[in-house]
Every structure is written in structure tokens, then in C-alpha cells.
Amino acid sequence: MRQAIFLAFLLASAPALADAPADPRPMQRYGADHPTCLGWTDGCTICTPKTCSTPGIACTPRETVCEAEKPAEPPPVAPQEQKP
């Protein structure tokens, strides 16, 4: 009887003990969080703002890093009549 009560308690508390669900799209979220990045990777998946590749089956992901930044826009040039 004790074992049945203990088992029922474990089964009832299992969802509370489970880890929070992982973000199913962490690579895409990186792009949203870094809008100037044109290409990023975790060593397994390569992403662009539009799509991500499929990782290999035996790949161990590392920290996500940006590999290509948007070039900085040059400062605006004043029209000729406004130059000293």
C-alpha cells in the first residue's frame, strides 16, 4: 500500500519536477535578437534572416555566434549648396 501511495505521489509531481521546455527555435530567435547579423551559426546549423540549415546527426552545438554583420551605413553627405 505504501509503495502505491509513493508511486502515485511521484507520478503526480513529475510534471512539476520536469525542466521548463526548451525553446524550439533558438537559432531563429538569435536572428531576431541581433537584427544587424546576416549569418550566424552554432557549429551545426547555419542561419540567415530567412532560413536555417538542418544540423548533422552527430553534431554537438556550441555557443551561437554571428559570422556576417550588415555593413555600417556611411554618414549622410550634405548637398553641395550646404557645404562651406
pLDDT tens, 15-69?
A: 544 554 566 678 889 999 999 999 999 999 999 999 999 988 889 999 999 999 9
**Residue 44 domain flag:** yes
Domain that holds residue 39: 23-70
77 belongs to a structural domain:
no
Q: Which residues contact 78 (CB under 8 A, 6 or more apart)?
A: none
For residue 39, which of 15, 68, 13 has the smallest C-alpha distance? Answer: 68
Model pLDDT, residue 17: 47
Q: Report if residue 11 sits inside a domain.
A: no
Three-state secondary structure call for residue 54:
coil
Residue 52 DSSP label: B
In a domain? residue 15:
no
Assess if residue 75 is contained within a domain.
no
Contacts of 65 (CB under 8 A, 6+ apart): 40, 41, 42
Report the number of distinct structural domains present in the chain.
1
Strands (E), 1-84: 37-41, 46-47, 65-69
